[in-house]
Amino acid sequence: MDEPQILWFGWFRADIIKEYEPLFWEGLRMTVGVTVVCILLGTLLGLLLGLARLADARSPVARVLTRVLLRWPATVYVSFFRGTPLFVQILLMHFAVVPLFMNPADGWLISGDTARDLRQNYGAVITGIVSLSLNAGAYISEIFRAGIQSIDRGQTEAARSLGLSYGQAMYHVVLPQAFRRMLPPLGNNAIALLKDSSLVSAVGLGELAYAARTVAGAYSRYWEPYLTISVMYWLLTLLLAWGVRHLEVRYGRGDSR
């Protein structure tokens, strides 16, 4: 280490951050990328789970079927993913579930050298995206369910009495209104997801927390790397919150409540 030390405020070793700058940028890219992908996948999953939990049918037979095939599985799913620690879910996913689907010998989905390569090069990314999306989907389904249920029943009745199908009524009438009310909790969820992505560093995903850990390990200095990523996370959450507020203003018109 023959580079000159750069001290900020007499104690902050800025040169360490400078030396590892590419690692932090790489980590930032990974954190943002994983978060964005998981928000999209989680929202889609949340919508499907939310609809499954509200599913109903007219005839008695179909009603039983929707209960058994849609409502109950969705309820159990949501209960499990909300009732266990995300950290444990990540470990379970990485060391137990992913190997089951993907291993060189007898993977259910992929086996052979492809499986080995995939897990070596992208194992942590796969774990991160799958486990964060599955977890976010459970929370977001509750947001969808509450949002849909908060819309007056008269809206669905009016749409259906015009002849719109269930799907059309949902898509054109209920969801656009529910979405407005869901924006604040969805925003909170996105912020939580951004922060929770740091947990995936435990299985070696090269995101911000991983970058900080690497730097801390190399120098046995902790203030510099962790303070740096703290500021980066903070800026990211501020940016996200600002974006959500922007959307709320934009889509706020026409809501009577």
Matching residue, tokens 């730097």: 215
Residue nearer to another protein on the CB measure, 117 or 255:
255
Pairing of strands 12-13, 7-8: antiparallel
3-state secondary structure of 165: coil
Question: Given the complex with another protein, which of 5 and 59 has the nearer CB atom?
Answer: 59
Q: Find the binding residues for another protein in span 134-173 (CB under 8 A).
A: 152, 154-155, 157-165, 168, 172-173
Single residue of 58, 96, 108, 220 touching another protein by CB under 8 A: 58
- Closer by beta carbon to another protein, 69 or else 162: 162
The answer to whether residue 133 forms part of the interface with another protein (CB under 8 A) is: no
User: Is 5 one of the binding residues for another protein (CB under 8 A)?
Assistant: no
Which segment (57-65, 102-110, 130-138, 225-233) binds another protein by CB under 8 A? 57-65
**CB of residue 178 vs another protein: minimum separation in angstroms?**
10
Q: How far is the CB of 161 from another protein (least distance, A)?
A: 4
Element (H, E) at 12: strand 12-13
Q: How far is the CB of 60 from another protein (least distance, A)?
A: 8
DSSP 71: I
- What distances in angstroms separate CA 26 from CA 23, 33, 90, one per listed residue? 5, 10, 21
Rounded-to-integer distance, Cα 167 and Cα 9, Å = 60
Q: At what angle do helices 223-251 and 21-54 cross, to 10 degrees?
A: 40
Q: Per rule CB under 8 A, is residue 67 in the interface with another protein? A: no
Number of Cβ atoms within 10 Å of the Cβ of 4: 7
Question: Which one of residues 94, 119, 145, 180 is an interface residue with another protein (CB under 8 A)?
Answer: 180
- DSSP single-letter state for residue 11: T
Stretch of 36-44, 55-63, 83-91, 238-246 contacting another protein, by CB under 8 A: 55-63
Q: Is 256 in the site for another protein (CB under 8 A)?
A: yes
Q: To 5 degrees, how large is the angle CA 140–CA 145–CA 149?
A: 150
Residue with tokens 């486990």: 131
**Helical segments of 55-103, H only:** 60-66, 72-83, 86-92, 98-101
Q: Which is nearer to another protein, 21 or 157 (CB)?
A: 157
Residues found near another protein in the complex (CB under 8 A) = 58-59, 62, 152, 154-155, 157-165, 168, 172-173, 176-177, 180, 253-257
